[in-house]
Amino acid sequence: MATLSNKKNITVQAVDVHRAKMLLEAGEAVLIDVREDIEYEDEYIPGAAHYPLSTFDSFRPEGDSGKIGIFHCRSGRRTAENFARFLETGYREVVHMDGGIVDWSIAGYPVRGEDDGEVTPEVPARRAGSEAA
């Protein structure tokens, strides 16, 4: 796990997409997409919960508090800059996925988009506070 400091001098714990995928497959983590609705509708990582940053408020994970919360955006910039907000969510550990969905896609990991037609059942329903665009 890499560490870096953001503009507020908060130490940001980062994982690359390969480590993130390994943690997710092992059931040790949950993936949280903080991109805005329009970005999410264009493409998303199957299984990621969607909490747009513009309406993000600390939440307590239901049944996932013992897991690692992996937060991602498009490239990793927004999650690194807003890392302090994610520390309040109640996960055992909070990390940001360095490189975001861009690096995830480049690595060849699954990404779904509007061109794929139907939304797979793995994508959870939007949580309260993430109104549709």
Please write the tens of the pLDDT for every residue from 1-31: 555 555 556 788 999 999 999 999 999 999 9
B/e letters for 106-133, b = 16+ CB within 10 Å, e = fewer, are: eeebeebeeeeeeeeeebeeeeeebeee
List residues bridging with 128 in a β-sheet. Answer: none
- From residue 2, alpha-carbon distances to 35, 53, 91 in Å are 22, 23, 18
Residue 125 in this model has a pLDDT that exceeds 50: no
pLDDT score at 63: 76
Q: By the 8 A CB rule, do 52 and 38 touch?
A: no
pLDDT digits (tens, 9 = 90+) for 34-90: 999 999 999 999 999 999 999 888 777 777 889 999 999 999 999 999 999 999 888
Residue 86: which residues within 8 A CB-CB, separation 6 or more? 32, 69, 71, 79, 94, 96
Average of pLDDT values for 86-113? 94
Instruction: Check: CB of residue 79 under 8 Å from CB of residue 96.
Output: yes
What are the helix (H) ranges across the chain?
17-25, 37-42, 77-81, 83-86, 100-106
Report pTM.
0.79
- Report the CATH architecture of 2-114: 3-Layer(aba) Sandwich (3.40)
